[in-house]
Amino acid sequence: MIGLFFDLLALLIVARILLFFIGYNYGAFYEFVFTYSEKILKPIRNVLPKSKVDWSPFVALILLDTFAKLMNPLVFFIVNGAYERIPLLLYSVFISMLSSVAVIFIIIFIVKLVNDWVKGQNYALTIILDSMTEPLIVRVKTKLQFSFRRYAVWLILALLFATEAFIQYELERINY
């Protein structure tokens, strides 16, 4: 039941993201999604440093996923007195949170590649993607030889996939 609650909150955040990208900003459904998602996003936005990009939906999704994976087993361990299992649970949830971060960045970079491939026909999306990815791309490009700089996005994506594969291996190892 606790997991379902966090899943519904995450669905609310995803609906808000989708409504933003399709430009739908009126009506009862929009008001419902905006009102209740803002109650989650505003406190996160107040804590995050100012940026061109509103990272609060991504942070909220990661936190909701983390809480969903943590609460059921934590309550079970506490009720049954299995306190010795809590540190491994916390480590497992932390590794899972890192996996969520990696997956979000993989999605962002894949969308950037597709957007670049179609020549950025959605101007607002192009601006958002560039402001999200450019700081990392610039850092990677400075480490590459000139002739390889055009592959910076692909290199970052490959490193993100490798990181996600390692994280999944670690999760399988600690979960037996």
Task: State in Å, rounded, how far the first CA of the chain is from the last one.
Answer: 25
Give the pLDDT confidence of 85-116 residue by residue, as tens digits: 899 999 999 998 999 899 989 988 998 888 88
Q: Is the dihedral of CA 130, 135, 43, 75 positive or negative?
A: positive
pLDDT, mean over the chain: 87
Q: What is the DSSP letter of 23?
A: T
Query: What pLDDT was estimated at residue 176?
Result: 57
pLDDT > 90? residue 128: no
Closest CA to 102 of 171, 169, 163: 163
Report the b/e string of 109-147 with b at 16+ CB within 10 A: beebeebeeeeeeeeeebebbbebbeebbeebbeeeeee
Give, for 150, the enclosing helix (H) or strand (E): none
Q: Which two tokens stand for residue 33?
A: 């999604």
Residue 157 gets the label, from left (phi > 0), alpha (psi -120 to 50) or beta, of: alpha
- Torsion, Cα 83 88 93 95, to 10 degrees, reads 160
